[in-house]
Amino acid sequence: MTVTLPVAGMTCESCQKTVRDGLLGLPGVRTVDVDLSAGSTTITYDQSMLIVQSLVETVLSPVCLRKPIGSC
């Protein structure tokens, strides 16, 4: 399954990498495309292993990402 989610607060490529790495660390996530200029991320994942809510929580939670978005 593929879903596109908004990501607020990204200001640079470091933020983009933080979001991508945080999502790729979740079991079941296959691909992540983070669009810095659009402020969004498109994620392909195995819905038998992961629910959309987990993706949303990861994007919104700096703790899950190990670095606050926009802290560059």
Give the residue extent of every domain in the chain.
Answer: 2-61
CATH class of 2-61: alpha beta
Residue 1 has pLDDT above 80, yes or no: yes
Per residue in 35-65, pLDDT tens?
999 989 999 999 999 888 888 887 776 544 4
Query: How far lies 49's CA from each of 28, 30, 66, 69, in Å?
Result: 5, 11, 22, 26
- Distance in angstroms (rounded) separating the CA atoms of residues 27 and 13: 24
- Distance in angstroms (rounded) separating the CA atoms of residues 66 and 22: 8
Rounded to an integer, the average pLDDT of 24-41 is 93
- Distance in angstroms (rounded) separating the CA atoms of residues 11 and 36: 7
**Predicted local confidence at residue 62, as pLDDT:** 55
**Predicted local confidence at residue 63, as pLDDT:** 41
Is the pTM higher than 0.85? The answer reads: no
